[in-house]
Amino acid sequence: MILEQKTYYDVWMGGELAHQVKKLHKKYDIEKVQFSNSRMIKDEFMYQCFGEGDSTFGFIDPNLSRRRREVLSPLFSRRNIISLQRLVIEKVEKLCEKLTEYHDTSDAADISSTFRCTTMDIITSFCFAESLNALDHKGFRHPVLVGVKIALPMYWVFKHFRPVQWIFMHTPTWLSLLTSPETAGIMGVQNSISDHLDRFLANPKSPAIADHVIYHRLLDPENKRAGESLPTRHGLFDEAMALLIAGSDTVGNTLAVGGFHVLNNPSVYEKLFNELKKNWPVLEKSLGYEELEKLPYLESLRVSHGVVSALPRIVPPSGATIGGAHILGGTVVGMSSPYVHTNEGIFPDAHRFIPERWLQPNSKHLEHWLVPFSRGPRMCLGVNLAWCELTIGFAHIFRKFDLRLHETTERDIRWKEYFVPHFTGKRVQSFIKLRPS
């Protein structure tokens, strides 16, 4: 019965399960349990629908996931992100150049798409040393990003109807494009990653390939323990796809939605700009990540959800005590970050954008409940890169430009649940004016 209800709200109602569960929590006054247990395995029913089973994200076995994370973690460490922040700054400055073209014109810029293009260019540069250059695409509507957005609802179809996924995965490319032209974007990114991977495997020691390319870490024999084998080509491909999708859509959406809330609250916008100008008085003297990260952006992360689905785990056969309650073995448990971030008991007036809530003398404890990147041993691998992108992105945009929302309301940022938010309204749009330096 529960499975049928999930199918109904996931597929037939179109990404409404998270909203329905929220209503049930209110109706039955359910106490939500919090957990972070590395011994629990992932629920295969959920994770296999993404087709990235041979990756850190897709591994069902926690031991395989942990080993892959150990290999990749140095690339995403805070120290490494700081040393490579130039990649982020370069793409954000390119974004600013593109937005400058809208200065004092009657055209509104598509903020949602520009941010997603920027984060796509950052993650491809960072992981593959080869940018997708989505920012150069006309109207910021790169086919990869369009394809990803269109493909999101298909994940739930794949989750509940596995034969459909098998057919899709085994359909020739030409037939997929003929029957469903919107898949061209996804096919394009798959082909791009496949070509890049083949070039690397043909000449892995080429000096033209930067040492921060993920394949270097994954294929380095020094990272292999006795009895382990190096990833196959399929494993390298799955890891690349997982990092690409996770590293672009989530951060891009957070920038767009966080940006909307700032612009929709003039007093907040003014305070943020004044704080930025105070700390960054001369635009010609660029500030680095370490200087900018001291400014408060936490409220933007609270109201801008990265992953909105619960991350399901299976309780071990022996059972587990979670939040004081005994949970039987085999039970699937999960938590969705929006349930935490909109909990009135933790965040009063949870649906209001109130940055000041983080600036009170007793507000330090709130950070424990800020979980946009999850928590525990399997939290988001790219959390440090995401923080760097968000900090530099917000700082440059709100310091350099005077923005004004155009025909965008809160209705436009309502989301459907397809693991990540799938926004049903118009994209966030804004008029752009350059600020004097």
| Residues in Cβ contact with 159 at an 8 Å cutoff, skipping those fewer than 6 apart | 10, 45, 46, 48, 49
Q: 403 with 430: CB under 8 angstroms?
A: yes
Residue 119's nearest CA partner among 103, 137, 131, 101 is 131
Give the annotated binding-site residues for heme: 380
Task: Please give the annotated binding residues, written as ranges.
Answer: 380
Q: Of 331, 310, 340, 252, which Cα lies nearest the Cα of 10?
A: 310
Rounded to 10 degrees, the C-alpha dihedral 294/339/250/434 comes to -50
- φ, ψ of residue 434 in degrees (nearest 5): -70, 140
Q: Which helix (H) or strand (E) holds 325?
A: strand 325-327
Nearest to 272 by CA among 304, 296, 241: 296
Q: Yes or no: say if 9 and 156 are a contact pair by the CB < 8 Å rule.
A: no
What burial letters (b/e) apply to 104-122, b meaning 16+ CB within 10 Å? eeeebbbbbbbbbbbbbbb
Contacts for 44 with CB less than 8 Å, ≥ 6 apart? 60
